[in-house]
Amino acid sequence: MSLEDTLYPLLKLYEAAPQPVKSLAGRVYRAFPPSLRYGPAYTRFQNEAREVETWDAEAIRRYQIAALRDSLTAAGKAPFYAERFAAHGVDPSKFEALEQLADYPLLSKQDLILNREQMVNPEFDAKQRLYITTGGSSGVPVGFYLHKGISRPKEQAYLEAQWSRRGYRVGDRVAVIRGGVTSSKAGGSISYFDATRNWLILSSYHLTPERLPEYVAALNRFRPQHLHAYPSAALMLARGLEQTGLKLDFKLTSLLCGSEKLAAESQQYLECFFSTRVFHWYGHSERVVLAAQGRTSNHLHFWPTYGFVEFGDPDAEGNREIIGTSFHNHVMPLIRYRTGDYAKITDGEASEIVGRDYEFLISATGRRISLTAINMHDRIFDNLLAVQFFQEHAGVVECRFQSGPQWQSSSDDAMRSALLKKLGDDFTLILRQVPEVEKTSAGKHKWLVTKIKA
């Protein structure tokens, strides 16, 4: 097991410690070589991500057939998959061609919500599993297990390989404006230093015109080589600088934008304003497939060794659902998983991920809270079938939730506390259990229903 996995249970204790203690502990941790921090699998995936760009089509095909057979075999040991595979007449031991995957049943988020424990490979005990939850890009919460010592070092290695296309090197100084909570108060601190990664964490919750000078001062002191931000946060920063005349007194090597869609015109604007290359990628918490812009192309290329990607039939606008089968997570493989994300596909590449528009909750003091940042990665949404936010007045938000069969009313208080920690003290939060959340005319979940004009 990696040092990261060993120390993971202490993460909340570390996060609650005073900054001097965190800085000292973080520097000690960062002094260990990456192969020890992330485990031996990290080096393996580093090499794989670097080498795959030189492989020919036949080498990729052989790799994918072997990886799919391994995933299908591991899945077949779980009760849920064993029953489904038998019902569809498929046998993982006979998997010899990529085309055979179409014979296997699709997996929905609802399947995952209702059958999670029956999808676990019994050959792996609890010590080898890492439980993760996500609010989901559409407001459908899901929980799942990752493979300790495999899933996270793999993700780290592939992200670093992607970012290197825009000049990133391990150990570079990075400023981050994403979902990190620096304070639950509207007037609280905007930043803290994460010494474990040499990153300056800046709040995406407090980025307002009034507090923009604080962000500029913090960035100019830290002088990062890269800015890692939600696209919406990067655009808010750029437009704020443009409107106020405030300036960054250093040159960025790259702007790394993930977790939200990034339109071509927005990317062009950011590259022009910051005078640097922007890098955009697509991934998700389930770690099934991963796609990233190329070295010269802004189309999103799916990594053939990360997971296997398929695409659903085109909808009325020509968009196709991304369907993925995970590689390497033998604790809980996801087979032909319908992600609920859609893309415009040309020759196997995504010219655009069709996600929701930038959606914000508005606080009583005018702060804009990105719903991407609210997307929880802890256990408070466990056993909920859907979550939706409704807002009619600034500073007042209603969280509507549809409970599953395992939901307990005693969990309400924990959910309220965790949400308010992110929303801040200039919000009034109302929790309301509903039989079903509002959907679009096409039957899709809506993450936000708002009556407040942009």
pLDDT at 428: 96
Biggest CA-to-CA distance, the chain: 66
- pTM equals 0.88
Picking from 12-16, 82-86, 212-216, 421-425, which range would have the lowest pLDDT averaged per residue? 12-16
Please state, in angstroms and rounded to a whole number, the distance separating the CA atoms of residues 196 and 214.
23
More confident call, 410 vs 226: 226
- Buried b / exposed e over 404-438, threshold 16 CB at 10 Å, is eeebeeebbeebeebbeebbbebbeeeeeeeeebe
Instruction: Give residue 5's pLDDT.
Output: 77
pLDDT in tens, 397-446: 999 988 877 788 888 888 899 899 889 999 999 999 998 888 766 566 77
CB-side exposure of 432: number of CA atoms within 13 Å? 14
Sequence length of the chain is 454
pLDDT average, residue stretch 263-286: 95
**pLDDT for position 135:** 66
Give the pLDDT band of residue 454 (cuts 50, 70, 90).
low
191 has a pLDDT exceeding 90? yes
- How would you class 205 by CB atoms within 10 Å of its CB: exposed for 0-12, middle for 13-18, buried for 19 or more? buried
CA distance 198 to 224: 10
Q: Rounded to whole angstroms, how far apart are CA atoms 424 and 71?
A: 42
Give domain limits for the chain: 360-450
- Neighbouring residues of 61: CB distance < 8 A, sequence distance ≥ 6: 98
Over the stretch 33-58, which tens digit does the pLDDT of each residue have?
Answer: 888 899 999 999 999 999 999 999 99
pLDDT in tens, 292-304: 999 988 999 999 9
What mean pLDDT is reported for the chain?
91
Using a 10 angstrom Cβ sphere, with 0-12 exposed, 13-18 middle and 19 or more buried, the burial of residue 249 is exposed
User: Residue range 340-344: average pLDDT?
Assistant: 89
Which backbone phi and psi does 147 adopt, to 5 degrees? -95, 110
Residue 188 in this model has a pLDDT that exceeds 90: yes
What six digits make up the tokens of 244? 């106020």
For 360-450, CATH gives: 3.30.300.30
